[in-house]
C-alpha cells in the first residue's frame, strides 16, 4: 500500500477545492489529452472532481495526472481513477463526478516564471527555517522574493536540507507583511559560487496576499536607488 500523503500535500489540495483543475489522461496511442474539470472535495479516501463534459472515456483504474493551482504556484500529481459516481447538486439532477486516488506527492511550483524583486540591497532580511519533526533550525539571508517563493542564502556552510523537504520559514518583513511563518517546499539547493554557503530556492505552500504590496514598495525603493546612483 502506498504511503499516505503528507500534510503539506493535503493543504495544497484543500486550497484548490471549488477551483478549476486540469486532468491529463493518455490515449491508446500514447498522446496526452487534457480535460478541464473542477475539484469538488478532498476526502480521506480520495478526491472528487466533476466529470468532464462530453466524455466518459476515463475508466476505473486508469492512471491520470491532475494539475492545480495551490499556494506556491501550479502543482501536478499522479492519481488513479477509482470510479464514476454522482453527487447531490441541490436540484433535480445530480452532478456526475469522478473519484480519484489521493496523490502521494505534488511536484511543480512555478517560481522561476514569477516576478522576483531583490531585497538584499536595502532590507537585508534574515529568516529561520525549521523542521517541526526534528526541531532542527537553520538561519538564512533572504536574497529575493516573489509572490510564490524566495531565494535564500544559508548561514551554515553545509545545511542538511534536500530538495523536496517541507520546512517552516519564519521571518519579519516590513508592512504590510509583518511576521511571516509559513510552510515552504525546498525546490533546489546549490553551492553559492562566492562562498561555502548554499543558495536555497523555496516555494510558499500557502499564499501570502500581502506580498503583492510588499513587492510593489520594494520595486519603488529599488528604482529610486538606481536613479540616485
Q: What is the pLDDT of residue 123?
A: 80
- 180 versus 6: the higher-pLDDT residue is 180
Q: Is the pLDDT of residue 226 over 70?
A: no
Q: What is the band of 168 on the pLDDT scale with cuts at 50, 70, 90? A: very high
Q: What is the band of 2 on the pLDDT scale with cuts at 50, 70, 90? A: very low
Q: What is the band of 188 on the pLDDT scale with cuts at 50, 70, 90? A: confident
Question: Please, where in the chain does CATH 2.30.110.10 lie?
Answer: 7-108
Q: What is the band of 9 on the pLDDT scale with cuts at 50, 70, 90? A: confident
Q: What is the band of 1 on the pLDDT scale with cuts at 50, 70, 90? A: very low
Whether residue 99 contacts residue 81, with contact meaning beta carbons closer than 8 Å, is answered with: yes
Cα dist from 144 to 101, 111, 125, whole Å? 37, 11, 10
Q: Chain-centre distance of CA 181, in angstroms?
A: 16
Q: What is the band of 189 on the pLDDT scale with cuts at 50, 70, 90? A: confident
Highest mean pLDDT among 75-79, 107-111, 121-125: 75-79
Q: Is the pLDDT of residue 74 over 80?
A: no
pLDDT tens digit sequence for 92-102: 889 999 999 99
pTM value surpassing 0.85: no
Question: Please, where in the chain does CATH 2.40.10.220 lie?
Answer: 112-228
Sorted by sequence, the CB contacts under 8 Å of residue 96 that are 6+ apart come out as 50, 51, 84, 86
The CATH code that applies to domain 112-228 is 2.40.10.220
The CATH code that applies to domain 7-108 is 2.30.110.10
Average pLDDT taken over every residue of the chain: 82
Q: What is the pLDDT of residue 79?
A: 92
Amino acid at each position: 500500500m502506498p504511503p499516505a500523503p503528507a500534510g503539506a500535500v493535503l493543504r495544497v489540495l484543500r486550497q484548490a477545492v471549488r477551483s478549476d483543475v486540469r486532468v491529463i489522461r493518455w490515449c491508446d496511442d500514447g498522446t496526452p489529452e487534457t480535460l478541464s474539470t473542477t475539484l469538488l472535495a478532498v476526502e480521506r479516501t480520495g478526491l472528487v472532481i466533476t466529470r468532464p463534459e462530453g466524455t466518459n472515456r476515463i475508466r476505473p483504474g486508469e492512471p491520470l495526472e491532475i494539475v492545480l493551482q495551490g499556494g506556491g504556484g501550479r502543482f501536478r500529481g499522479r492519481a488513479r481513477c477509482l470510479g464514476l459516481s454522482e453527487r447531490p447538486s441541490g436540484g433535480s439532477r445530480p452532478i456526475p463526478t469522478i473519484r480519484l486516488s489521493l496523490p502521494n506527492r505534488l511536484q511543480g511550483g512555478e517560481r522561476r516564471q514569477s516576478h522576483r524583486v531583490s531585497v538584499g540591497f536595502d532590507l537585508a532580511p534574515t529568516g529561520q527555517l525549521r523542521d517541526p519533526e526534528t526541531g532542527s533550525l537553520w538561519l538564512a539571508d533572504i536574497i529575493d522574493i516573489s509572490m510564490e517563493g524566495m531565494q535564500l542564502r544559508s548561514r551554515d556552510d553545509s545545511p542538511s536540507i534536500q530538495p523536496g523537504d517541507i520546512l517552516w520559514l519564519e521571518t519579519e518583513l516590513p508592512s504590510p507583511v509583518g511576521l511571516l511563518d509559513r510552510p515552504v517546499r525546498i525546490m533546489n539547493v546549490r553551492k553559492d559560487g562566492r562562498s561555502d554557503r548554499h543558495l536555497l530556492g523555496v516555494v510558499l505552500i500557502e499564499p501570502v496576499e500581502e506580498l503583492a504590496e510588499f513587492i510593489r514598495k520594494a520595486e519603488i525603493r529599488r528604482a529610486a536607488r538606481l536613479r540616485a546612483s
